[in-house]
Amino acid sequence: MTELTPSTTWPGPLAGVRVLDFTRVLAGPAASLALADLGAEVIKVEPPGSGDDTRTFPPIRDGESHYFLSVNRGKKSIVIDLKAPDGLQLAKDLAARCDVLIENYRPGVMDRLGLGYEALKAINPGLIYCAISGYGMTGPMRDMPSFDIVLQAQSGALYMNAEPGGQPMKLGLPMGDLVGGISGPIGILGALFERTRTGKGRLIDVSLTEGLIGLSAYLPQLAWFTGADPQPQGSQHPNLVPYGVFPASDGSIVVACLTAGFWGNVCRAIERPELADDPRFASLEQRRDAREEINAAVSAYTSRHTVAELVTRFTALEVPHAPILSVLEALSSPQSQARGVVVEVDHPALGPIPLVNRPIRYADEQQAPVTAPPMLGQDTDAILADLLGLDEDRIAALRAAGTVA
């Protein structure tokens, strides 16, 4: 039986907050991951059999999926059959002892299981209940299935992610789902703060589509100002020039010029200092309107030099830039190494494995080490015994009946 032992180091600002996690795949697990990273105890409830769907997503090594490992660090796993009466009661007993519940089923599913907000509020008035879904709990699309590319299409993100005149392309990052890991925790943290004053919980309705629309930043306001849809710009910016990907002799490099000061730096870097004083390019609007001419001047210089040469020159002259790194290059960059972006953890089945570290750090504190994502049902016995007070005979009976695993 896995022992639930307290950490000897600071667990994080959410130490003492207990989260009951009914999420699966990506949007919901990203939300509970953020809370686990902040020190909350996250109890992941998984169905019997294969557990979270992503445990079966290839590639798989020694029975463990890369996908599951990516968003479930720092959590505990308990296997409960929610369709069994005893399993449902166990879930309710756990909810009575938790501060937060997160789920990302379609609206209505948890109600049909007997685990909706109203049912659980009756036994735990302080419970903060976060329901994450593609379109939210209301509206004509609330019952429709949603996946990352669908959310990107519905939010305008896919439309904008294209070269001018080109075919829309899915974002390389699954932001339609990952926005659940942003909106969900923000809503939960706000409700936790409110509860310190009121003692009451709250139902949080998170729409992934609305979250992704929210990440479109200035684009809606640009559309309202101009009265027209912003058009896809590829890697370029609709109003800032030069800004985007430029050719090098051995690849490509990003240049991002946002201010007049940087514009002067760019001109010196590409050995065209006279452009900085050219009245045709004096303002942001003028540079935007002269996009083709300016981009051609930048490209003429960058295409004659290697990425490494450009990085050296642009760094020296304070031109905002970046080489275009692959995933492995980004993970192993000197900056990532200096910051400890990758950590090694000991997994029960895989042994030592690399994981991405917490993205939020707290200065002047030694936070507890990241722990490996749990194996299916790894903590079932410990949670039932330590949290619900069940004895070994009762746990054995529940296991024999298939209610837990």
Query: Which residues are catalytic, by number?
Result: 177
Whether 32 and 21 have beta carbons less than 8 Å apart is answered as: yes
Q: How many CA atoms lie within 13 A of 328 on its CB side?
A: 0
Helix H or strand E segment including 131:
strand 128-133
Burial class (CB in 10 A: 0-12, 13-18, 19+), 224: exposed
Structural contact between residues 73 and 34, judged by C-beta atoms closer than 8 angstroms: no
3-class state of residue 297 by DSSP: helix
Percent helix, strand, coil in the chain, to 5, is 40, 15, 45
DSSP of 205-250: EEEHHHHHHHTTTTHHHHHHHHTSPPPP-TTS-SS-SSEEEEEETT
User: In what order do the strands lie in the sheet containing 321-323?
Assistant: 243-248, 251-256, 321-323
The structure tokens listed for 308 are 């490494």
Please say whether the dihedral angle defined by the alpha carbons of residues 147, 153, 154 and 157, taken in this order, is positive or negative.
positive
Report d(CA 233, CA 226) in Å as an integer: 16
